[in-house]
Structure 1
Amino acid sequence: MSNQLRNRLAVIGVLLFCFFFTASALAQSQPNPDWSVADIPSQEGRIFLVTGGTSGMGYEDAKALAAAGAQVVIAARNPERGQEAIDQIKQEVPDAQVTFESFDLANLSSVLALGRRLSASLPQLDGLINNAAIMAPPERGVSAEGFELQFAINYAGHFVLTAELLPLLRNSDSPRVVTLSSLAAHQGSINFDDLQSTQDYGPMTAYAQSKLADLMFAFELQRRSDTAGWGIQSMAAHPGVSVTELVARGPGLDSEQGQLWSANREHYQTAAQGALPTLYAATSLEAQGGAYYGPTGENEVYGPLGLATVPPAANDAEVAARLWTITEEITGTHYP
């Protein structure tokens, strides 16, 4: 095959990809950009689990859902912070139905134990918000199973948790799973040759991989739900750049990233603003399975709610299926 013919075929391939990607995007309806927590429909009788709900966007998710009448379970590591979050929510929402469950996403035994406790205590689960995350710790850490810590907490732990809660979700008449990704997913790639960053650890590289994995998981979960008839709407969301504890607890405020973040934080969204795409996905009657929501301002760092730009890598269904299979194997978790 001549180079000229190869180039023509490559151009045709790119054009076909753009056509189908654009058609898919157009098939999803844009949210009302002015949508706010005031537009959340009544969540009376519905039960939600929010991971990492003691601070940041997770806390805002829990508070807004409780204010809409939902029963909310906050799941995180620190019971003291869990109680503080509950107390704060009840100051603003006196009749809030909110409880705390302690668990560690970096320990799959803890994740499985949470799944068993909830399965024994809840009639159904209407919404799962996979929110908890860490970002770019300077040194490579590992989970109880030996996974790179960001891979474990941001992605693998939530993969296992969702599988464990699948029967509870299927008990709901309209279950939703919302998984948090990040703008960093645009810089991510799935490195199957070094999935746990044992050969070469780059803090942001590992973070970007984990957040791309989250986005691919959300899309693959929707595909599998459609195929198997689980009835689950799986969506993804990202908060743009929002003021939370993520930088302070990750690279640190003294790092180059931390200093840049601190210098520009007045331009970033509040945690409450950053939570809106997640809350829309979790509650809006117009939200659609397989969609990706986020702010639509400059570079999607801030701004009104809308459909987020999907990194081309996240649309690779073959890579997503391979990642799913490998994750089942290394975690010992198998979806139906």
Structure 2
Amino acid sequence: MSTYLITGANGGLGAATARELAARGHRVVLAVRDPARVTPPPGDTEVRRLDLADLTSVREFAAGWSGGLDVLINNAGVMAVPYAKTADGFETHMAVNHFGPFLLADLLLPHVTGRVVTVSSGLARTGRLRLDDLNWERRRYSALGAYSQSKLANLLFTQELQRRLTASGSAVRAVAAHPGVARTGLDRHFDRPLALLMKALYPVIAQKKPEYGALPILFAATEDVPGNAYVGPGGRNGERPRLERRTDHAGARELWEISARLTA
């Protein structure tokens, strides 16, 4: 039996991933903003509070962790939310999707024995990383642009983490995954025109259940994939996860250094 920690496991992909891992007999810790609103799945499961938009919460969560951790799954995320900054001064997408998971992984890494899985998105390919303006202070804000940038940051984080793990001789692997298009409620902040378009396209392009979107995450977390792998959906409904093609990004090391500085 292995121990899995899943962030954002209150619904959608995280909840589907937690249910499946618990059904396989693993110990699963669900890290969520509001534990009172979460009913954990049957099995050896536990719910703990974690707010990735608040670095103090991240530090408190990590300080309270004891014992081993086989796999950390950085799943929690926000998408296309209106412009806002967190108490730490970060744009919301970068805070929840990148800076919070970055710090959490850094603090928990001494406990991790297997791998760190980070959930990205197919929209990462449209992301433009502005290392001089990660928090959208010098350019016109785009909700989808901010989301895409944060998802690209997930891939760069995985790339650089694997480089550092390899250099240190660690057997821990850093892996990324993306679910394709699944109905998880993550798009609830879309403005009306985009929401109507997505509603019309869903029957054509979307996997109808979060369980299908969770399959690449489960594959990345449990199958024998190489470090820095990127797992995506395959088949009509995403039922056959596959390794995606990806190229290393020259900005990965610089993003890491900036993230380390900003999260202290």
Maintained 8 Å contact 2:97/2:150? yes
**Structure 1: distance between partners of 2:104 and 2:257:** 16
**Structure 2: distance between partners of 1:197 and 1:308:** 29
Question: Which of 308, 311, 321 is the aligned partner of 2:253?
Answer: 321
Any residues of structure 2 matched to 1:303-318 within 5 Å, and which? 304-310=240-246, 312=247, 315-316=248-249, 318=250
1:296 aligns with 2:239: no
Match of 2:59 in 1: 112
Maintained 8 Å contact 2:80/2:147? yes
1:74 partner SS: strand
Question: Which of 116, 119, 127 is the aligned partner of 1:177?
Answer: 116
> Which runs of 5 or more structure 1 residues have no equivalent in the other structure?
1-43, 91-95
**Structure 1: distance between partners of 2:77 and 2:47:** 18
1:126 partner SS: strand
1:216 to partner: Cα distance = 0.8
2:70 counterpart letter in structure 1: D
> Which TM-score applies when normalising by structure 1?
0.75
Match of 2:75 in 1: 131
1:141 to partner: Cα distance = 1.2
Structure that is richer in helix per residue: 1
2:79 counterpart letter in structure 1: M
1:303 to partner: Cα distance = 5.7
Q: Rg larger in 1 or in 2?
A: 1
1:308 to partner: Cα distance = 1.8
1:153 aligns with 2:96: yes
**Structure 1: distance between partners of 2:238 and 2:17:** 18
Maintained 8 Å contact 1:48/1:127? yes
Question: Which of 233, 248, 252 is the aligned partner of 2:173?
Answer: 233
Match of 2:135 in 1: 196
1:288 to partner: Cα distance = 1.8
1:273 aligns with 2:212: yes
Identity rate, percent: 39
1:165 to partner: Cα distance = 0.3
1:307 counterpart letter in structure 2: L
1:190 counterpart letter in structure 2: L
**Structure 2: distance between partners of 1:325 and 1:114:** 23
CA offset digits 1:23-57 (Å, max 9, x no partner): xxxxxxxxxxxxxxxxxxxxx2x111000001011
TM-aligned CA distance change 1:186 to 1:303, over 3 Å: farther
RMSD of aligned alpha carbons: 1.5
- Give the aligned length: 261
**Structure 2: distance between partners of 1:145 and 1:136:** 20
CA offset digits 1:167-211 (Å, max 9, x no partner): 111xx3xx1110011011010121022110012211011111000
Match of 1:98 in 2: 45
**Structure 2: distance between partners of 1:128 and 1:211:** 17
Match of 1:73 in 2: 29
Maintained 8 Å contact 2:217/2:231? yes
**Structure 2: distance between partners of 1:65 and 1:302:** 18
> Which runs of 5 or more structure 2 residues have no equivalent in the other structure?
none
> Which TM-score applies when normalising by structure 2?
0.95
**Structure 2: distance between partners of 1:309 and 1:140:** 32
